[in-house]
Amino acid sequence: MELKRVVVTGLGAITPLGDSVEEYWDNLMKGTSGAGIITRFDTTNFKTKFACEVKDFDPTKYIDRKEVRRLDLYAQFALASTDVALEDSGLDLEAIDLERFGVIWGSGIGGSETFLHEVIGYTENNKVPRFSPFFIPKMIADIASGHISMRHGLQGPNFTTVSACASSSNAIIDAFNYIRLGQATGFVTGGSEAAINEVGIGGFNAMKAISTRNDDFATASRPFDVTRDGFVMGEGSGALILEELEHAKARGAKIYAEVVGAGMSADAHHLTAPHPEGRGAAAVMRNALKDAGMVPEEVDYINVHGTSTPLGDISETNAIKIIFGEHAYKLNISSTKSMHGHLLGAAGAVESIAAIGAINRNMVPPTINFKEKDDRIDYDLNFTFNKAQERNVDVVLSNTFGFGGHNASVIYKAYTE
């Protein structure tokens, strides 16, 4: 069976660096930090008082005011970004087979803010169960894909992937596979997350997973720096329109990039820590290259998971050296989380958009906030520290890894006939 080719024909982004793809790309290339003091709740009693919030988001630009009240913020982000991506794609939804166009979305947590507020209301009302009838539909992680489907009449496969911080990469991979196997023509895919709230910050504080650098929050996300002390929470959404190549060509679509390969693996090691030798990370990159029919020397840039955690950055660096050998010293590496923070289940989607931006602009976004070396990291690798670098970018590999040992890698390539 000959596999179909799959291309990216539309993009939408709601991020801490801007609510349009162009603004997001521009700020990435400028090395802009999206971190700021948390405005969503009183952080007086919290160890971490900052995050990468989406600024000035107005859901009523995209969604009816009455409907907004029925949606958790993570679903509002999802609908906003997918509206933009579909418009960007130029798809005429009245002219396509809607039964062959689906939605596969990713979210690691879903409606945590809704859950929090409903439980607070329950306790404040002396445990009288006066829950909103929208409580469950607002909270569940799969509801964003349902809303996207209903909003646009998309009747193809519809579900949500949940694999912690690898969730939206897994969504993209599933959409890619459905299309290339001929089981669908196209998908709205990507992911969204909105966990900058008391339970999100408090929970990750309890795990000692997020930075507490309140006195220097703008530089707190500092992957590969010896002083890194955890990731910085982000939020937002990234949406991609994936389409079978011949379908896209027949309607004269613009093509941002081609999806050429994907891999998945498991660390099978620890609840939250990566394998110290990077075995799972190495396996997922090896699997992606094999799936794409590529050799390591064809990759120009790796958008790494690079969370700014003490163990994760070392493990991923080790894995890159294992898989790429001598070529590891010739490609660019960067962590855009240094700028937009860690969007948890939405990370793979917004970082895929960053990867596609690198291809379209022949520019590698930087890893900002680097100052001091860590003796456990090989700095002969090109981490693209502090400043974007021009280079020919034809192939990008995007890594996302999640708690529980979930690993996903997607390979994007400049489109050619």
Give 229-246 pLDDT, tens digit per residue. 999 999 999 999 999 999
% of the chain surpassing 70 pLDDT: 100
Model-wide pTM > 0.95: yes
**179 contacts 417 by C-beta, under 8 angstroms:** no
Amino acid sitting at position 71: L
Residues of each domain in the chain carrying CATH 3.40.47.10? 7-250, 261-413
Q: What is the largest CA-CA distance in the chain?
A: 65
One of 147, 275, 305, 406 is an active-site residue; which one?
305
Q: Which residues contact 282 (CB under 8 A, 6 or more apart)?
A: 318, 319, 322, 323
One of 147, 247, 342, 406 is an active-site residue; which one?
342
| Closest-CA residue to 349 (of 21, 110, 57) | 21
Task: Quote the CA–CA distance of 334 and 301 in Å, as a whole number.
Answer: 8
Amino acid sitting at position 206: A
pLDDT at residue 52, rounded to an integer: 98
pLDDT at residue 1, rounded to an integer: 76
Per-residue pLDDT reduced to its tens digit, 310-353: 999 999 999 999 999 999 999 999 999 999 999 999 999 999 99
Catalytic annotation on 342?
Answer: yes
If DSSP states are collapsed to H, E and C, what string results for the chain?
CCCCCEEEEEEEEEECCECCHHHHHHHHHHCCCCCEECCCCCCCCCCCCEEECCCCCCHHHCCCHHHHCCCCHHHHHHHHHHHHHHHHHCCCCCCCCHHHEEEEEECCCCCHHHHHHHHHHHHHCCCCCCCCCCHHHHHCCCHHHHHHHHHHCCCCCEEEECECECHHHHHHHHHHHHHHCCCCCEEEEEEEECCCCHHHHHHHHHHCCECCCHHHHHHCCCCCCCCCCCECEECEEEEEEEEEHHHHHHCCCCCCEEEEEEEEEECCCCCCCCCCCCHHHHHHHHHHHHHHCCCHHHCCEEECCCCCCCCHHHHHHHHHHHHHHHHHHCCEEECCHHHHCECHHHHHHHHHHHHHHHHHHCEECCECCCCCCCCCCCCCCECCECCCEECCCCEEEEEEEECCCEEEEEEEECCCC
Q: pLDDT confidence of 126, banded at 50, 70, 90?
A: confident
**Alpha-carbon torsion, ordered 309, 313, 319, 320, to 10 deg:** 150
Q: pLDDT confidence of 277, banded at 50, 70, 90?
A: confident
Its CATH class, for the domain covering 261-413, is: alpha beta
Catalytic annotation on 52?
Answer: no
Catalytic annotation on 327?
Answer: no
One of 147, 165, 275, 406 is an active-site residue; which one?
165
Per-residue pLDDT reduced to its tens digit, 16-33: 999 999 999 999 999 999
Distance of CA 357 to the CA centre of its chain: 14
Task: Quote the CA–CA distance of 417 and 2 in Å, as a whole number.
Answer: 17
The architecture in CATH of the region 7-250 reads: 3-Layer(aba) Sandwich (3.40)
Say if residue 188's pLDDT is above 80: yes
Mean pLDDT within 295-308: 97
pLDDT at residue 288, rounded to an integer: 98
Per-residue pLDDT reduced to its tens digit, 38-75: 999 999 999 999 999 999 999 999 999 999 999 999 99
Say if residue 275's pLDDT is above 90: no
% of the chain surpassing 90 pLDDT: 94
Say if residue 265's pLDDT is above 80: yes
pLDDT at residue 222, rounded to an integer: 98
